[in-house]
């Protein structure tokens, strides 16, 4: 008598039924039919990616194989590495690989472990988290501070928590995407004013009053990251007080270096006691790792700890990140005496002068963010590639990161840059600018 041998596929089905009694042929057919959905999905994605490439706005990631600094090593497509001078990091004070920052990060890793495997309110709060929150609070002179995994999370968590449908938020038109996304999550009435236009801001506040808003919150970047433009926070404060409005500032691109003591845009204008809420990052000037925070009045921070979803449902900051940020804050307290501020602002002035004299258009308010305006997306991409070939690491920015027709290379200066590095970068800009017809052939080197 012949014995029937089960096929491999039927054996697999049997095994699945033993492991999971709920599995059936209908479940299997569903999985098989999902392959068609996956194929359709993949095709839609490919079409979208091709449209991005056709528009010249496709973004490729370059791979760095060294610590972040003004001089880095970059892996090439051919497998070879090249030395580059980095002009596009948010490493404003050069602290990303500072020995004291690294040492404290390692120390906290040894003393407090790799991570907490928990959110803060369950079993994810260590003494070092509270110490860092207190350190930031003291730095700003506020009442309390709450840490987040990123400033994007801080922005995602604040508006929904503190505003209701009875309130209004009045937002600058060029605010960062994280502010925009955070506002979308809340039920408050939304008004948008033209970038740094105080007349338009006042008009929107009047509209909010007519709409019967209980609270009015003006939301602005301290420094607009694509333009290097500093928000006129002193004027915003005057208008806010006229209309009894609160002020929220995202200070990611000013914390640690703008203002006499590096306390950001509010200190730069002398209005620290007139700004109600500051959100910022630990991932730029403050060590460059990760993390963000909200600082302000104690009642607001208490409410955020209880209702802010990104805080409640995200793991605690890793101890190593807490350590690097804490060390960076200590170093910033002495930045005036160790020359970091002078070096940063001297580098900024030199670069802007060299390119301005050569005929380039540089946007911004003499901020380390120095956007070299090119207009065309393809031109910006080609220009950046040619700079890389000359050992200058920069990136072209185009739509949707910036408005259409306003493509640029966003140069970012650091206290870590030497004068020689800045002059080398300027010479490369001028050479390629002539080659591509961006500036005249007789522009000064």
Q: Which residues are catalytic?
A: 225, 253, 284
What sign results for the dihedral spanned by CA atoms 22, 28, 33, 34?
A: positive
- Tokens matching residue 245: 């409005």
For 338, the token pair is: 């160790």
**Can you list the alpha helix ranges (DSSP code H) found in 55-196?**
99-112, 120-123, 127-140, 151-162, 177-184
What letters, b where the CB count within 10 A reaches 16 and e where it falls short, cover 117-146?
Answer: eeebeeebbbebbeebbebbbebbebebbb
Tokens 């050479």: give the residue: 431
- Nearest by Cα to 320 from 130, 67, 107, 145: 107
Q: Could you tell me how many residues make up the chain?
A: 445
Q: How far apart are CA 404 and CA 381, in angstroms?
A: 14
d(CA 101, CA 326): 8
**CA dist., res. 313 & res. 119, Å (int):** 6
First-residue to last-residue Cα distance in the chain: 94
- Give 280: exposed, middle or buried? Use CB within 10 Å, 0-12, 13-18, 19+: buried
- 73 close to 81: Cβ distance less than 8 angstroms: yes
Main-chain dihedrals φ then ψ at residue 277, nearest 5 degrees = -135, 130
């Amino acid at each position: 008598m012949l014995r029937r041998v089960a096929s491999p596929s039927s054996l697999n089905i049997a095994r699945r039924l033993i492991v999971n009694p709920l599995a059936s042929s209908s479940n299997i057919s569903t999985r098989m039919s999902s392959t068609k959905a996956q194929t359709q999905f993949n095709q839609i994605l490919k079409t979208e990616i091709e449209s991005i490439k056709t528009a010249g706005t496709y973004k490729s990631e370059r791979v760095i194989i060294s610590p972040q600094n003004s001089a880095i090593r970059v892996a090439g497509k051919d497998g070879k590495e090249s030395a580059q001078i980095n002009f596009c990091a948010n490493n404003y004070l050069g602290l990303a690989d500072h020995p004291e920052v690294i040492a404290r990060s390692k120390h906290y890793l040894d003393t407090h472990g790799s991570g907490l495997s928990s959110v803060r309110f369950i079993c994810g709060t260590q003494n070092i988290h509270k110490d860092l929150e207190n350190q930031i609070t003291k730095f700003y002179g506020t009442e309390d501070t709450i840490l987040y995994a990123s400033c994007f999370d801080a922005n995602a968590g604040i508006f929904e928590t503190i505003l209701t449908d009875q309130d209004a938020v009045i937002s600058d038109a060029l605010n960062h995407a994280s502010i925009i996304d955070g506002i979308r999550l809340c039920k408050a009435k939304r008004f948008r004013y033209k970038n740094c236009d105080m007349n338009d801001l006042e008009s929107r506040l009047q509209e909010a009053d007519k709409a019967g808003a209980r609270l009015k919150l003006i939301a602005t970047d301290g420094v607009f990251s694509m333009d290097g433009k500093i928000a006129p926070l002193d004027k915003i404060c005057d208008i806010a007080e006229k209309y009894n409005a609160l002020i929220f500032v995202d200070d990611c691109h000013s914390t640690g270096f703008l203002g006499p003591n590096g306390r950001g845009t509010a200190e730069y204008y002398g209005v620290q006691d007139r700004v109600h809420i500051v959100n910022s990052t630990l991932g730029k000037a403050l060590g460059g790792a990760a993390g963000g925070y909200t600082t302000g009045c104690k009642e607001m921070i208490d409410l955020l700890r209880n209702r802010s979803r990104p805080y409640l449902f995200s793991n605690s900051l890793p101890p190593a990140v807490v350590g690097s940020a804490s060390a960076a804050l200590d170093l910033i307290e002495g930045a005036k005496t160790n020359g970091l501020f002078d070096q940063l602002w001297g580098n900024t002035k030199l670069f802007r002068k060299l390119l301005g004299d050569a005929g380039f258009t540089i946007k911004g308010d003499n901020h380390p963010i120095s956007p070299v305006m090119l207009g065309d997306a393809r031109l910006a991409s080609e220009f950046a590639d040619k700079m890389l070939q000359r050992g200058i690491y920069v990136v072209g920015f185009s739509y949707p990161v910036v408005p259409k027709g306003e493509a640029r290379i966003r140069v970012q200066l650091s206290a870590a840059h030497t004068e020689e590095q800045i002059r080398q970068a300027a010479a490369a800009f001028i050479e390629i600018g002539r080659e591509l017809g961006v500036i005249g052939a007789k522009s000064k080197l």
